[in-house]
Amino acid sequence: MQEELDKFGQWSKDNYMLLNGDKCKIMTICFLRIPPAPPSLNIYGSELESVAVACLLGVWLQANLKWETNVTKMLNKANGRLFLLRRLKHFNLPVNDLLQVYKSYVRPVVEYCAPVWHPGLTSSQSARLERIQKRALRTILRGQYVDYNSALHTTGLQSLSSRRTDLCRKFASKINPDLLPPRGSEEHGRNTRNANKLRTVKCRTNRYQNSTIPYLIRLLNE
């Protein structure tokens, strides 16, 4: 592995893109009860740190492939932005204006890169994310707030869970067909009931079953 890393480092130098060893990390994804020690790797002589959690393009990844850290980070950021919504409420802004602030400033935080992590959420994590919208609607509607379902109906909003599913479906529909499994008609040429459905991915573990690619294929087959 070190040999390949050296080749990559040399390629980067040759193309005037020096790597920053301080920002490069090692994450070992292993589900053995007693995992092996992480490999000792370096870039340009700088030893790489081994981590269990890392942020990649704004998404927090864990070595156990769970999403607790990412959910917690999103919640912390969204709660901070809800504070602004509460401050604006005291200026007696119309409901529609407060709603627009929520949709453009708060909600995107808890939907960022949803196709990556939504399929792997636990019911508890999904409920915690949903509470962000519940709190926002209580703030926006004030005395008009009765319960969450009524608030959704009044404001015309979807639940965050439903929105994430729609975002995933929209993302799946834009994937290059060449990157997806073949459809039934392409495999056997027969016009059967499932001829237009993509071949499902065989998953030996729930972890893989609840990951992005199998989930998106299921959405496209609905």
Rg (CA), the chain: 23
Does residue 200 lie within any of the structural domains?
yes
Count of domains observed in the chain = 3
One domain, residues 77 and 166:
yes
pLDDT digits (tens, 9 = 90+) for 92-106: 899 999 999 999 999
- For residue 189, the model assigns a pLDDT of 59
Q: State yes or no: pLDDT of 184 exceeds 80.
A: no
Burial class (CB in 10 A: 0-12, 13-18, 19+), 168: buried
Does residue 57 lie within any of the structural domains?
no
Q: State yes or no: pLDDT of 113 exceeds 90.
A: yes
Q: What is the mean pLDDT of residues 193-209?
A: 85
One domain, residues 103 and 167:
yes
- For residue 35, the model assigns a pLDDT of 83
What residues are paired with 47 via a beta bridge?
42
One domain, residues 166 and 76:
yes
Which of the two residues, 185 and 152, has the higher pLDDT score? 152
One domain, residues 79 and 162:
yes
Does residue 59 lie within any of the structural domains?
no
Which of the two residues, 176 and 113, has the higher pLDDT score? 113
Does residue 62 lie within any of the structural domains?
no
One domain, residues 89 and 153:
yes
Q: What is the mean pLDDT of residues 180-207?
A: 77
Q: Report the SS3 class of residue 183.
A: strand
Q: What whole-number percentage of the chain has pLDDT above 90?
A: 74
Contacts of 5 (CB under 8 A, 6+ apart): 41, 42, 43
pLDDT digits (tens, 9 = 90+) for 19-60: 888 889 999 998 888 888 888 999 988 899 999 999 999 999
One domain, residues 159 and 73:
yes
Q: What is the mean pLDDT of residues 72-86?
A: 96
Q: At what angle do helices 148-155 and 123-141 cross, to 10 degrees?
A: 60
One domain, residues 103 and 39:
no
CB 58: neighbour CB atoms within 10 A? 10
Q: What is the mean pLDDT of residues 153-177?
A: 96
Query: What domain range includes position 114?
Result: 68-171
Mean pLDDT score across all residues of the chain = 92
